[in-house]
Structure 1
Amino acid sequence: MSIYESSRAASRAAFRLSCRPRLHGLANFPASGPVIVAPNHLSFLDSIIVSSFMPRRVSFFAKAEYFTSTGVKGAAMRTFFQSIGSIPVERGEQAASVAALQLALEILDRGDVFGIYPEGTRSRDGMLYRGRTGVGWLALTTGAPVVPVGLIGTERLQPADSMMVTPRRFTMKVGEPLYFDRVGPGHSLPQRRQVTDRIMNAIADLTGQERVGRYNQRPGAE
């Protein structure tokens, strides 16, 4: 068993034992081919939860500093994020965002699964924010189906700005795949927005969250 599968099995067992999660719709997940997984985002633990329970390996981006921190803590963080298949990416610069999408494109071109949070960053008030169009760009460029995922209650496991994890029951709902024509990178911004909005509508149907018509921002961001 690979390090990834061992870590995934251990995380899955820990969540099942301590949180008794409610899991719905796993049978909706495509058994083969490229897939884009698009969850809402409430907790630092969301990527671990999704990666633990999905039928196939899901690659998520993680902040580059998780892989470059020094000392014992830094080494532990690096080992952990590598073990769950996270991919380091710089945040906050346009060039870095473009490079990240190109890396996601490579993952999907291999026929693998890539996870992306359309909201961009965690919701700190529990509401569902406007989706950023990177997910629409990937869907239209690759033609890969998008699987919407609704996470409910994960914010109670580890509230924002807290290092403590408290076992709480949560729900993960996996929606039916959304299919879009493969247009290629030459598609228009209105097309990308339309696809992104459809994905966000599917997520909202799964979670029942109150919608916000603006983009979410990280604390301290302009």
Structure 2
Amino acid sequence: MIYGAMKFSIGGSLKLAFRPWVEGLENVPAEGPAILASNHLSFSDSFFLPAVLDRKVTFIAKAEYFTSPGVKGRLTAAFFKGVGQLPVDRSGARGAGEAAIKAGIDVIESGGLFGIYPEGTRSPDGRLYRGKPGGLARVALATGAPVIPVAMIDTEKIQPPGKVVPKLMRPGIRIGKPLDFSRYHGMEGDRFILRSVTDEVMYEIMKLSGQEYVDIYATAAKRQIADAEKAEKAARAEAEKAEKAKKAQRPAA
């Protein structure tokens, strides 16, 4: 009930304002379980994809979105519940991963669509990063559900990280053909199989999105970018300090 009302209001508003284009809708089954594995460019990805589908898509979200105090906290919790997101405690990396996997399996076993971002976090620069094998592959192999690769197009231009007000432009969504990994069913404990499954899905996402692929995790790339910015800031500060010292040594005119 709540989801239907939120989808009608939010999904309708998004489609009216941004007019997203979509290819491959026929690849999403009208019923039955499936995993939607998407690249992750923007916070808004979790809203644009459900907006163009007739079925509910369940993503996972930080538990903090559901537990913040006050009126704003309650409104935020109601919003995320309404758009079909499940809370996951991310206080511990391992615990968060296991909770996400359990949530995904529960959604699949109930016959639903489970949405997941194999990169684990948003791309820091618009490129496609290495998929993490712990979530997507384990849910797929534990349940036998088909994996449908999805490419979000240009959503990072609509709402770049740190920007609150989105830019009005048309994003795109390409949905690929379902991938069948039932031959590996029950082998979710084999890390080599998990890696192989994840890489195959990421390759299909790359073909759909046209993104440059980077064979490192996005979290590592973010650390590299942060370290580079920190080093650049320190270098500028040192240069300014040296310039001030140089000016202080010049004789007065």
Per the TM alignment, residue 187 of structure 1 is displaced from its structure 2 partner at its CA by: 4.1
What residue number does 2:244 align with? none
Q: Does the aligned pair in 2 maintain the 1:42–1:123 contact within 8 Å?
A: yes
SS at match of 1:217: helix
Amino acid at match of 1:34: P
Alignment of 1:143 onto 2:144: yes
Amino acid at match of 2:141: L
Q: In structure 1, how many angstroms separate the alpha carbons of the residues matched to 2:151 and 2:33?
A: 20
Per the TM alignment, residue 123 of structure 1 is displaced from its structure 2 partner at its CA by: 0.5
Q: In structure 1, how many angstroms separate the alpha carbons of the residues matched to 2:151 and 2:43?
A: 15
Q: In structure 2, how many angstroms separate the alpha carbons of the residues matched to 1:16 and 1:54?
A: 11
The structure showing larger relative contact order (alpha-carbon pairs under 8 Å, at least 6 residues apart) is: 1
Q: In structure 1, how many angstroms separate the alpha carbons of the residues matched to 2:201 and 2:22?
A: 20
Per the TM alignment, residue 77 of structure 1 is displaced from its structure 2 partner at its CA by: 1.0
What residue number does 2:30 align with? 31
- Unaligned 5+ residue runs, structure 2? 228-253
SS at match of 2:132: coil
SS at match of 1:166: coil
Alignment of 1:203 onto 2:208: no
Between the two proteins, the alignment pairs up a number of residues equal to: 221
Q: State the TM-score, normalizing by the size of structure 1.
A: 0.93
Deviations 1:117-171 (A, max 9, x none): 0000001200000000121111111110001110001112211012222222110
Q: Does the aligned pair in 2 maintain the 1:26–1:55 contact within 8 Å?
A: no
SS at match of 2:213: coil
What residue number does 2:61 align with? 62
Q: In structure 2, how many angstroms separate the alpha carbons of the residues matched to 1:60 and 1:191?
A: 24
**Greater Rg over alpha carbons, structure:** 2
Per the TM alignment, residue 48 of structure 1 is displaced from its structure 2 partner at its CA by: 1.0
Q: State the TM-score, normalizing by the size of structure 2.
A: 0.82
| 1:194 aligned residue (171, 193, 196) | 196
Q: In structure 2, how many angstroms separate the alpha carbons of the residues matched to 1:186 and 1:111?
A: 20
SS at match of 1:87: strand
What residue number does 2:242 align with? none
Once the two structures are superposed, the pairs formed by residues 60-209 of structure 1 within 5 Å of their partners are 60-91=59-90, 92-133=92-133, 134-181=135-182, 183-184=185-186, 186-209=188-211
Deviations 1:54-78 (A, max 9, x none): 2311100011111111223222211
Instruction: Give 1 or 2: higher helix fraction.
Output: 2
SS at match of 2:169: coil
Task: Report the RMSD for the aligned CA atoms in angstroms.
Answer: 1.8
Per the TM alignment, residue 8 of structure 1 is displaced from its structure 2 partner at its CA by: 0.9
Q: Does the aligned pair in 1 maintain the 2:38–2:118 contact within 8 Å?
A: yes
- Unaligned 5+ residue runs, structure 1? none
Amino acid at match of 2:12: A
Per the TM alignment, residue 11 of structure 1 is displaced from its structure 2 partner at its CA by: 2.0
Amino acid at match of 1:80: F
Q: In structure 1, how many angstroms separate the alpha carbons of the residues matched to 2:188 and 2:83?
A: 33
Moved more, 41-50 or 209-218: 209-218
Q: Which runs of 4+ in 1 moved over 4 A?
A: 218-222
What residue number does 1:9 align with? 8
What residue number does 1:22 align with? 21
SS at match of 2:215: coil
% identical aligned pairs: 44
